[in-house]
Amino acid sequence: MAFPQCSRLLALLDAEADPALVGEPFDAWCEDNTLPWVRDHIRVDGDQIRRWQGGDVDLTRPLPSDLILAAARVDRRIDRAAPGYLGMVDLPSCLDPVEPLARAVYESGWRPTPDPGPTRDELVGLIEAAVDRGGRIAADGW
């Protein structure tokens, strides 16, 4: 995200003799081209936290981008939107046309396989055990 921002800022500075006049056009560009990514990641992060806490895929709201992309494992047509999104060449809204396809995947009952590693409950147990020992990490690492 930083490279396109820097490129746009430099282009604006090259085109404008007074640097003080670059702020507003740069802000407008960032609102159109950067803010959608920030909003996308906030939405993904919030939904991932909810799911890590045991929540299921929420089909009452628009699907976050991570779930749309994950559903491509089942419906390969979703992949057609992935390159622009993953390359950050297209805005997150490029996934909107394939969101109904992903929604149908989740409505069928399919869910992505969790990544390998400890579960939330296992992590909580490790933290609780560390706190029980006074917050110090034991010689064995826990």
Contact predicate 133/142, CB 8 Å: no
- Above 70 in pLDDT, residue 140? no
Give per-residue burial for 58-86: e unless 16+ CB within 10 Å, then b: eeeeebbbbbbbbbbeeeeebeebbeebe
Q: Residue 91, Cα to own-chain centre: how many angstroms?
A: 12
Question: Is 134 a residue whose pLDDT tops 90?
Answer: no
pLDDT mean over 118-135 = 82
* 49-87: pLDDT as tens digits: 999 888 999 999 999 999 999 999 999 999 999 999 999
Give 11-47 pLDDT, tens digit per residue.
888 888 888 888 899 888 889 999 999 999 999 999 9
- The full DSSP string for 52-64 is HTTPPP-TTSPPP
